[in-house]
Amino acid sequence: MSELPGDLMYTSEHEWLRREDDGSVTIGITDHAQAALGDLVYVELPEIGQVVETGGDMAVVESVKAASDVYAPVAGEVTAVNEALADDPEKINNDPYGDGWIVRLAPSDDDGGLLSPEDYQAILDELDN
């Protein structure tokens, strides 16, 4: 059973999103995603200032099993990236919703289309069957 904070929004591609007080959004991958990937060995981060579309490639996380794209849950401009992941990609494994955050965006089009914790849990339940 993976951890699923109730105050975040999710995508069917296993990203999470937190709306910050200053209007920005913080994005990472879910506990389920990090567990499925296994120990991460490399994270490729975008440049600050890069503009991403909703659903576009934003970062790459690589484990010993596989490399996966991280998609942007909303469109926007990258305002910060978690530099610490370059040396310690395992932060995502250890604390996916905290120290393991990946990108911060200034959203240009935050029009919903995101999943509530309940809806995302339903997707996880289906994957388990």
Partner 1 sequence: MNVQEKLDSTLFEQSRRGRRAFAQAPDVTEATDLPQALLRRDRPGLPEVSELQVVRHFTRLSQKNFSIDTHFYPLGSCTMKYNPRACNTLASLPGFTGRHPLGPLSHAQGFLSCMWELQEMLKDVTGMQGVSLTPMAGAQGELAGVAMIRAYHDSRGDHERREILVPDAAHGTNPATANMCGCKVRELPTTAEGDVDIEALKAAVGEHTAGIMLTNPSTLGVFERDIIAVDRIVRDAGGLLYYDGANLNAILGKVLPGDMGFDVIHMNLHKTFSTPHGGGGPGSGAVGVGERLLPFLPTPVVSRTLRDGEAHYGWLTERDLPQSIGRLSGFMGNAGVLLRAYVYMRMVGREGMRRIAEYATLNANYLQARLQDAGFELAFPNRRASHEFVVTLKREAREFELTAMDVAKALLDRGYHAPTTYFPLLVPECLLIEPTETESKQTLDGFVDAMIDILSQARDRGASFKEAPHSMPVRRLDDVKAARELDVRFGKTA
* Mask for 14-33, x = binds partner 1 (CB under 8 A): --------------------
Among the listed residues 39, 111, 118, 119, the single contact to partner 1 using CB under 8 A = 39
Q: Which of 36, 75, 80, 123 binds partner 1 (CB under 8 A)?
A: 36
Report the DSSP beta bridge partners of residue 16.
10, 28
SS3 of 31-75: the string is HHHHHHHCCEEEEECCCCCCEECCCCEEEEEEECCCEEEEECCCE
CB-based contact 10:21 (threshold 8 Å): no
Minimum separation from the CB atom of position 41 to partner 1 (A): 4
Provide the mask over 43-72, with x wherever binding to partner 1 is found by CB under 8 A and - wherever it is not: ---------------------xxxx-----
The answer to whether residue 41 forms part of the interface with partner 1 (CB under 8 A) is: yes
Q: How far is the CB of 4 from partner 1 (least distance, A)?
A: 17
Angstrom distance (rounded) from CA 72 to CA 27: 8
